[in-house]
Every structure is written in C-alpha cells, then in structure tokens.
Chain A
Amino acid sequence: MLIALAIRLFTIVATVAVARRPAICRVVSMGGSILASAITGWLAVRVITSRAVIDGVLARHAASGIVFGYAVTPLSAWFLMVLALIAAPVAVYSIGYFAHAVPASRTATTGVGFNVLLGAVELVFVASDVVTFLFAWELMTLATAALVATDHEERSSRRAAYLYLVMSHVGTGCLVAGFLALASRAGSLSFSVLLTGDTVSGSLRHVLFVLFFVGFGVKAGLIPLHVWLPEAHPAAPSSVSALMSAVLITTGLYGLLRLCAFGLGVPSLDWGLAVMGVGALSAILGVLYALTENDVKRMLAYSTIEHAGIIVLGVGVAMMARASGRGDLAAVAMAASLYHVLNHAAFKGLLFLGAGGMAMGTGTRRIEEFGGLLRRLPWTGFFFLVGALAISGLPPLNGFASEWLLFQALLRGFASIPGLVRLNFPIGGALLALTSALAAACFVRAFGISFLALPRSRAAAEAPESPALMLVPQGYLAALCVGLGLFPGIVLQSLDRVLASLPGVQSPVALAPSSLAMASPRDVTDGVVPLGLAVAIGGGIIVGLLLAARRVSRRVPTWGCGGELTARTEYTATAFSKPLMMMFRAVYRPTREVEAMAEVSPYFPTEVRFRGRIEPTFERYIYTPLALAVLRVAVGLKVLQAGSLHAYLAYVLVLGVLLLIWLGGSI
C-alpha cells in the first residue's frame, strides 16, 4: 500500500518537474498512475484471496500519541480492486486524450490532480482512523474540484466546481460532526474501536445514522443530494468524468456501507426502509432525467445517479435483512450491490470514454448534433454499443448479472421478512424493472440518435476516429463488461470472501455453483448461466443468417414520403423521449414555447422557433430557497462581523468571562 502511495507521490513530483514538456509530462504522470494502480490492484487481489488484513502505520504524532494508520480489509480491497481495474485504462486513455482536450499549459496540473485524486481515494478506502479518513476525504474533494475547474475560463465550469465544493463541504460537515460524536463516546479515533457497533445507543444512534447518510449520500449522488453531480461530471475532462463516475461515487457508497450499514451496530428496520426508499427514488428519477437530457455527458451523469440508486437499494435490502436477522438474504443483497459497484464502474467508465471520443471528434456534446457517427467512428461506436447494452441490464452482459441478483434478493425478501413491511420488496422490484426498462429506452436513444442514420451537423459528418491509444482502453473495458457478464461465478466466488468479513452476513457459498453460473441460495431452484444463453442466441443468429442468406444486391435511398430525406427530417433525441416525457409530466413539469415567424399569413410560417425545457424541481424548490435563506442569515450576521477591531476585542473579552464563569461553576 505504501509503495503505491509513494509511487503516486513520486509521480506528482516528477510531473511537476517536467511540466514544461507536455508530451513527456503526460506519459510520466499517467505511466506512474498506471504503475500505482497495478500495485493497488495486486494488493487488493492478495487481500481478497488470502483474507488477511494488511495494515500498517502511516505516521505517528509523538506528543499526542495519535497514530495515523491504514488497514486493507476485504471490503476495502474490493473497492481498491474496482479502482485499479478502471483507473489503469483511464490513465492510458488520458495520455491520448489530454493531448487534444487539455491545453498544454495545464497538462501538469491536470496530471497532478489525476494522481492526487486517485491517491486520495485509495487512502479513503484504506484509512483506519478518523483523522486519516477525513484528511483523505478532503484531499479527494479538493483534487476533484480542481479537475472540474480545468476549463476555468468557462463560467459553467467555475460554477460546477463551486457547487461541488459547497455540496461536498456540507457533506463533510455532517461527517465531521458524526465522527466527533462517535469518537467522543468511544474515546478513540481508530475505526477498529469506533465501528464495533456498540459505542452508541438510543436516539443518538439515529442522529448519527442520518448525519452519515447525508454526508456520504452527497458523494454518492443520491437524490435529493445529487445537484452537484450533473454539473460537475460534464465540466471535467472526459477521462476525469469516467473516474468520477466509476471511482469517486464509490467512496460515498463505501462510506455508507462502512458506517451506516455495518458501523453503527445492527441497523434498525426503519433505516433499511429509508435507505431502500432513497435508493429507489434516486434510481427512478435519475433515469428519468437521463432520458430527456440532450448533453451526452450530462445524460451519463444522471445515469450515474440511477446506478448509485440501484446499489443503495441493494444496501437497503441488506440492512433490512440484517435487522430481521436474515444473514443469508443480506448476503444476496450485498453481493448484488458490490457486484453492481464493479459493473457500473466498468460500463460507465467505458461510456464516458466513448463520450470523450465523440466530443473530441465533433467538438460538441449535444446528441442532437451527432448522427451517423458509426461510419466515422466505427470502433468508438461499437464499444459504446457494448456499454449501452450492458448498462441497460441486458443478458448476457454484466449489468444483467447484478440486477438479476438484486431481483433475487427482493423476491426472497418478500418471502422471508414477516409483516406488512415486506410489501416494500415487490414495489422495489417493480421500480427496479421500470428503471432498467427506462434505461434501455434511454440508451437506444443515446446510441441510435448519435451513431445511426444521417449526420445532423457538419462536425458530425467529418468527425475523425479517436487514436488507438484511446480505443484500446475502451476495448478493454468492453471486454470487461462481457467477461463480468459471462463469468458471474468467478466474481461471486471472490465476493464470497468479502461478504464473509462483514458482520451479520452469511457466507453465500451456494451463490456460485461454478464459474459460469449464479444460483439463488438455500433452495437452489433458480440459477442463471449467461454463457448458455449466449450459445442459444448464437445458434438463433446462425439460423437467422442461414434463412436470410442472400447477399444484398441493391442499396436505395430511404423513402422520404415524397420529399427529400435529410438530417432535418430525422427523428430527434427530443422527439424520441417525448412520449415518456408526456407520460411522466408530473415529474418533469415540462414547459414549451413555440414561435412561428410569418410574413404573409400565419399558415405559411417562414421560421418556427421551439424551446422546450423541463423544470429543475430540486434546484428550484429545495436549493434556491435554501441558498436564499443562508444568504439572509449571512447578511444578518454581518452586524457581528463589522470589521471593527474594538468590537472583536470586546467579543474576546465577553467570551473569556463567560468561559471563566462556566468553568468556575463546574469546578
């Protein structure tokens, strides 16, 4: 672990040293990053296979005796492995991508930010005491903010970075408060003492749960704490967006697991319900907003919210299972969540890298200005399609595997948890089904409108394919999506070790009967062998090819209803999602303005202008009033902070006297 962190540090120094030479600087910073990720991955795999916790001391403060340490537990190792699997290809991609997307003068700072971010995230995962954790957490936040503001000439980038900082610090504030309360009760700063589960009880436990849930929920992008996410993800360079979606989000999820699910003792049933509710809400609203979004990176950002929601839904089921003492059910739900963390990192990383290639080739991120890209960017298009299939939860790719497990958990939850509360599970199942079907609609739209039919702009018609250095990482991630889908058994066998280390979770050995299969535990009646389905579909395709084997001899223009068929007559992304927008108008609250410019008669308009928008409900009804209230309080407080030195001296005096009285009273 120390070696990996040391390499990151060395890389940062080296990057600064060669800052004048952008090309070398890119190779140095990313090469170091790849090396460090490889070591992290190796370490994670070792911890997962051996089950031995690797720990050590980072620093020791002699005067107070506080030790800053790290401990790679199996749970941390799982998250580290996800990080290593994604960070390495993203770094390779960045060598090619930064050459085009980041100005030469900023190569060094971006490279440093990239490495600081990864190092900090690693430290978050392995920190074994509160101070190290919060230090790493804050470092991670600042590094991300710096990366988001890479294009700081753009007003929107600055705004995104600022919003991200504000939201993150609200979250961090909650975390600091929570950790302080916890630490003062336990009398220690070390996680091994704090998180045993019996340090707090009564209503304080509930307060702490809420504090940690809010604190980590901000980072995980859970609705309604998500507002920073769709701003910050698109503003950053694409490879950084990929890291943010695939890795940064998982720190919030890691925190939720570490504290809310397994750190505060056996969770109460209500917590599980609340977590499930927030998860389902995030999933459904995330995908609904993604569906109407026309900026490809913002669309992916909303989809990240959706997947964070799905993961948290699984965590909620696990918490309810633990509260009811069903360790076997908790195991299925946790396996689903952790599997989905890995899957989401793979396909969302892939899609963000693809979006980067598209944006680089065309100079825009608007789906409406793409079209026909598959001819110009055949490989990017192919990999994007694989990612789109995976993210829609279609078999035999990886998204299906984890959603299958989650459905199993929900069904089993209904069958095994008594009382009215279990009605929650079929509702969760129906919402999950809706979410994944809407995701399919969303990605048919994203892939079809961007890559198929005629180009909608000159930029799209002339877009160049990305260089090989950017395509190879995408190919690797696409292969990962397929592989993780076809070999669920291997994933579950390694997850088994992680689950066994969590309190109150039974080891679900029966989940993986072989490396190709998944099966539900206890009465193993339902299982799935994705490879078997792949073979069956392959057979069907061969039959189809044999039946329709005649070669295409003629190609003709598409019939345009008598008129000429151009890009302007194509179906647009906005039109594609219109039916769903109308059906869910209670959520979107759409407004539109149509202006017809006519010279002769209103029936023969020369120009029609259409403007449609959906209402940003959370921003308008929660955040704007909140921000106004904060400002009003701040203005009120101006009276106290008037800038007069005499007044400040008076405050110090008054405070001193009051303290003396208070302390004197207690002595």
Chain B
Amino acid sequence: MGEALRAAVFAVLQAALLLAAAPLLHGVIKKMKAAFQTRQGPPLLQSYYDIAKLLRKEPIRSETTTWVYAAGPRVYFATAVAATTLVPVFVTAAPLEAVGGILLLVGTLALGRFALASAALDTGSPFGGMGSSREMTIAALAEPALMLGLFASALAAGSLNLGTLVRGLAEQGPSLHPSDLLGFASLFIILIAESGRVPVDNPATHLELTMIHEAMVLEYAGPDLALVEWASALKELLYLTLLADLFAPIGIATTLTPATALIAVTAWSMKVFLFAFGVTLVESTNAKLRLFRVPELVATSLGLGFLALAIRFL
C-alpha cells in the first residue's frame, strides 16, 4: 500500500509540474515563431493569461448539445493528465509505470481524441463535423507509423514499458546508430502530425479550408475551451518529452538527490526547448500541406520507421 501511495504522490506531483509548464511551451513556440517572422510576438506568459481569462468567463453552450459536448473537453483534459503519469520526465521511472507502457499511453491519448471528436459533432455546425472527420483521418494515418517507430525503440531496449525502456537507454547512453536517427525522424514527423503543427495542421488559422483541430473545437468557449487549450499544450509537451526520453537520454536522473534533480530539470528543459525549436523551424519554413497530401508525409514516416527496424535487426 505504501508503494501505491508513493506512486500516487509522485504521479500527482509530476502531473502538476507538467500542467504548470505546458502553457509556457506554447508561449515559447509562439515567441520563436514571431522572431522568425521578425515580429515582436505575444509575451511569453500570454498562454497563462489566456487560460486564466477563459476559466473565469461565463460558460456558454449551444442549444443543440447534450452531455457528450460537456464531457468532451473534460475527458480530453483528463486523458492528457493521466498520460503524463505514464511517461518518465525527470527520473528514469514513470510514476505509474506499473499501470502500463507505451501501448496504454497511445490508447489513453486515443480515448481523449475519441471524446473530443464525438463532442465536436454535437453542435450541428458543419465546422465541428469537418474538424472531427479530419482529426480522426489524420490520427488513423499516424497511428501505424507511431506504432512502428515506438516498436523500433522498444525492441532496442527489449520492453514496451517506458520506465524499463528509459532505464535501459540511460544505461547505454545516447547512440548515433543509424536506426536511431531514422526512428527519430519517423517519430518527429508523427509528433508534428499529432500535435497539429504545420505542415499538417495550422494552429494559428481559422480558415475553414485549412482548419483541423481548430475546426473541431470552434464552438467551445470559456472554461470548456480553456481545458481544451491546456490539454493540447500538455499533449505537445508530452510528445516532446517522449522524444527526449527515447532518443536523448542525457541528464535524466537515475537516483534522486538534489544535485541530480537540478541537472535533470535543466537537461529536460534544454531538450524540450531544442525540440520545440525544431518544431518552430519546420513550422516557419514550410507551407501547410493539402489534406490529401498528408498521407505521403505519413507514409514517409512509416517507411523510415520500417527501415529503422530493418537496419537494427537484420
């Protein structure tokens, strides 16, 4: 029982920390993107202000909606929070690693997507349906590539459990094996697709022809919208952390002392910042792809993942 309690406390702490940090990630990306466009950009903390403002606003919902519409953002938020407890962040152990590994993580995020995509259909607005349909389409295309990429790294460590996996990788140290590079490229593409970044989706647009995620949550307002925005930021942070865990296990703490903790937090922030810079770079230098060109991008990722597997094990 003591162990379960310790895991629970650890889980709550880590989830709270990531929740607190997630809006900052969006702020940083927006700032960097503005710098690329030689603009001033919003203040770094703007995302926090936005969420705080939205949470205090009057909640308004459409007449046509049912409880599914209200449940959507809450389940989406809850799955993102639950997912943080399955991923090692600062220490080579995930708080709830006994509960499940990579497959559970992917499944949990899929549950959140299912909830939000269903809720989007509830208002009767064609935008909701359009966003829902496109989101599920892209998720369906990304899923096999994601699985293959994760399989490739999982097999290297001999486990699908993220705790075990990261411990194994931290022991081996960072590697520049070609299969790791290919696997990284493959998962980076999927990261962009899953977190709704250019060239797959554009988080800054509100044009009906190009919206995907934004169209899905177009009808949300006030606290509902705050939950969606916050959860999306958390999900993106989670994907970047996962990438850092799998391909750059540097600085992560194997034992918990004040010194290692400090190093781990610094290293994690640096890595996430670096990957965020990569995402911004791709977003700033590419045009958004037509929806029907996305399969080609995802197929590239799938091919890279398969090559990564083949190179390592044949």
Q: Which of A580-633 contact B (CB under 8 A)?
A: 580, 582-583
Q: Which of B74-132 contact A (CB under 8 A)?
A: 74-75, 77-82, 85, 96, 98-101, 103-104, 107-108, 110-111, 113-114, 117-118, 120-126, 128-130, 132
Q: Which of A448, A536, A547 is B227 in contact with, Cβ under 8 Å?
A: A547
Cβ contacts under 8 Å, A583 to chain B: 137, 141, 292, 295
Given contact pairs A440-B136, A540-B82, A570 touches B99 in the complex (Cβ within 8 A): no
Are B118 and A394 interface neighbours, CB within 8 A?
no
Given contact pairs A394-B111, A526-B160, A579-B133, A544 touches B140 in the complex (Cβ within 8 A): no
The 6 A-B residue pairs whose C-beta atoms are closest, nearest first, are A571-B129, A540-B78, A548-B223, A448-B121, A532-B99, A437-B143
Chain A: minimal CB distance from B92 (Å):
14
Cβ contacts under 8 Å, A567 to chain B: 124
Q: Does B155 contact A (CB under 8 A)?
A: yes
Chain A residues within 8 Å of chain B by Cβ, number:
89
Are B62 and A452 interface neighbours, CB within 8 A?
no
CA distance A565 to B62 in the complex (A): 12
CA distance A549 to B55 in the complex (A): 9
CA distance A432 to B146 in the complex (A): 12
Are A543 and B148 interface neighbours, CB within 8 A?
no
CA distance A523 to B161 in the complex (A): 12
Are A441 and B122 interface neighbours, CB within 8 A?
no
Q: Does B11 contact A (CB under 8 A)?
A: yes
Are A407 and B226 interface neighbours, CB within 8 A?
no
Are A576 and B133 interface neighbours, CB within 8 A?
yes
Q: Does A68 contact B (CB under 8 A)?
A: no
Q: Which of B78, B82, B100, B113 is A529 in contact with, Cβ under 8 Å?
A: B100
Contacts A/B (CB < 8 Å), 10 sampled? A430-B147, A437-B110, A440-B113, A444-B121, A454-B124, A523-B158, A527-B161, A533-B100, A543-B77, A572-B129
Are B64 and A525 interface neighbours, CB within 8 A?
no
Q: Does A3 contact B (CB under 8 A)?
A: no
Q: Does B204 contact A (CB under 8 A)?
A: no
Cβ contacts under 8 Å, B15 to chain A: 540
Are A453 and B144 interface neighbours, CB within 8 A?
no
Chain A: minimal CB distance from B218 (Å):
9
Q: Does A434 contact B (CB under 8 A)?
A: yes
Q: Does B302 contact A (CB under 8 A)?
A: yes
Are B61 and A552 interface neighbours, CB within 8 A?
yes
Chain B: minimal CB distance from A391 (Å):
11
Cβ contacts under 8 Å, A444 to chain B: 114, 117-118, 121, 132, 136
A positions within 8 Å CB-CB of B: 372, 374-375, 385, 389, 392-395, 400, 404, 407-408, 411, 414-415, 420, 422-423, 426-427, 429-434, 436-438, 440-441, 443-445, 447-449, 451-454, 520, 523, 525-530, 532-533, 536-541, 543-545, 547-560, 565, 567, 569-572, 575-580, 582-583
Q: Which of A414, A437, A555, A557 is B140 in contact with, Cβ under 8 Å?
A: A437
Are B78 and A552 interface neighbours, CB within 8 A?
no
Are A575 and B60 interface neighbours, CB within 8 A?
no
15 further interface pairs, Cβ-Cβ under 8 Å (given A430-B145, A430-B147): A411-B151, A414-B151, A414-B155, A427-B306, A433-B144, A434-B144, A441-B139, A444-B121, A532-B100, A536-B96, A547-B226, A549-B223, A550-B222, A569-B126, A580-B140
Chain B: minimal CB distance from A303 (Å):
15
Are B151 and A575 interface neighbours, CB within 8 A?
no
- Which residue of chain B is the closest to A570 with respect to CB atoms? B124
Given contact pairs A394-B114, A552-B59, A532 touches B98 in the complex (Cβ within 8 A): yes
Q: Which of B58, B114, B224, B309 is A553 in contact with, Cβ under 8 Å?
A: B58
CA distance A422 to B140 in the complex (A): 25
Cβ contacts under 8 Å, A451 to chain B: 68
Cβ contacts under 8 Å, B141 to chain A: 434, 437, 583
Are A430 and B62 interface neighbours, CB within 8 A?
no
Q: Does B24 contact A (CB under 8 A)?
A: no
Cβ contacts under 8 Å, A571 to chain B: 121, 126, 128-130, 132-133
Cβ contacts under 8 Å, B104 to chain A: 395, 404, 528, 533
Given contact pairs A395-B107, A526-B164, A448 touches B132 in the complex (Cβ within 8 A): yes
Are B59 and A430 interface neighbours, CB within 8 A?
no
Q: Does B154 contact A (CB under 8 A)?
A: yes
Chain A: minimal CB distance from B22 (Å):
13
Are B107 and A400 interface neighbours, CB within 8 A?
yes
- Which residue of chain B is the closest to A545 with respect to CB atoms? B74
Chain B: minimal CB distance from A385 (Å):
8
Cβ contacts under 8 Å, B101 to chain A: 526-528
Are A429 and B133 interface neighbours, CB within 8 A?
no
Are B11 and A536 interface neighbours, CB within 8 A?
yes
Q: Does B27 contact A (CB under 8 A)?
A: no
CA distance A611 to B96 in the complex (A): 52
Given contact pairs A433-B147, A540-B78, A576-B132, A560 touches B154 in the complex (Cβ within 8 A): no
- Which residue of chain A is the closest to B77 with respect to CB atoms? A544
Are B103 and A404 interface neighbours, CB within 8 A?
yes
Q: Which of A539, A544, A553, A582 is B73 in contact with, Cβ under 8 Å?
A: A544
Q: Which of A426, A452, A540, A547 is B80 in contact with, Cβ under 8 Å?
A: A540
Chain B: minimal CB distance from A38 (Å):
34
Q: Which of B1-27 contact A (CB under 8 A)?
A: 11-12, 15
Are A453 and B139 interface neighbours, CB within 8 A?
no
Q: Does B205 contact A (CB under 8 A)?
A: no
Q: Which of B80, B110, B132, B140 is A394 in contact with, Cβ under 8 Å?
A: B110
Q: Which of A454, A551, A553 is B64 in contact with, Cβ under 8 Å?
A: A454
Cβ contacts under 8 Å, A434 to chain B: 140-141, 143-144
- Which residue of chain B is the closest to A420 with respect to CB atoms? B314
- Which residue of chain A is the closest to B148 with respect to CB atoms? A430
Are B122 and A452 interface neighbours, CB within 8 A?
yes
CA distance A309 to B158 in the complex (A): 28
Q: Does B210 contact A (CB under 8 A)?
A: no
Are A536 and B99 interface neighbours, CB within 8 A?
yes
Cβ contacts under 8 Å, A560 to chain B: 125
- Which residue of chain A is the closest to B291 with respect to CB atoms? A579
Chain B: minimal CB distance from A630 (Å):
39
Cβ contacts under 8 Å, B107 to chain A: 393-395, 400, 404
Given contact pairs A408-B160, A544-B73, A426 touches B140 in the complex (Cβ within 8 A): no
Given contact pairs A437-B140, A555-B63, A558-B125, A415 touches B99 in the complex (Cβ within 8 A): no
Q: Which of B186-236 contact A (CB under 8 A)?
A: 219, 222-224, 226-227
Are A441 and B137 interface neighbours, CB within 8 A?
yes
Are A453 and B147 interface neighbours, CB within 8 A?
no
Q: Which of B62, B103, B137 is A407 in contact with, Cβ under 8 Å?
A: B103
Chain A: minimal CB distance from B276 (Å):
24
Are A550 and B79 interface neighbours, CB within 8 A?
no
Cβ contacts under 8 Å, A426 to chain B: 148, 151, 306, 309
CA distance A583 to B12 in the complex (A): 42
CA distance A441 to B137 in the complex (A): 7
CA distance A514 to B222 in the complex (A): 44
Cβ contacts under 8 Å, A555 to chain B: 60-63
Are B143 and A433 interface neighbours, CB within 8 A?
yes
Cβ contacts under 8 Å, A375 to chain B: 66
CA distance A422 to B100 in the complex (A): 26
Chain B: minimal CB distance from A371 (Å):
8
- Which residue of chain A is the closest to B218 with respect to CB atoms? A559
Cβ contacts under 8 Å, A449 to chain B: 121
Are B55 and A548 interface neighbours, CB within 8 A?
yes
Are A389 and B82 interface neighbours, CB within 8 A?
no
CA distance A420 to B314 in the complex (A): 8
Are A415 and B98 interface neighbours, CB within 8 A?
no
Are B129 and A570 interface neighbours, CB within 8 A?
yes
Q: Which of B294-314 contact A (CB under 8 A)?
A: 295, 302, 306, 309-310, 313-314
Cβ contacts under 8 Å, B136 to chain A: 440-441, 444-445
Q: Does B271 contact A (CB under 8 A)?
A: no
Q: Does B134 contact A (CB under 8 A)?
A: yes
Are B133 and A552 interface neighbours, CB within 8 A?
no
Q: Does B46 contact A (CB under 8 A)?
A: no
- Which residue of chain A is the closest to B131 with respect to CB atoms? A571
Given contact pairs A532-B96, A571-B133, A539 touches B81 in the complex (Cβ within 8 A): yes
CA distance A666 to B121 in the complex (A): 77
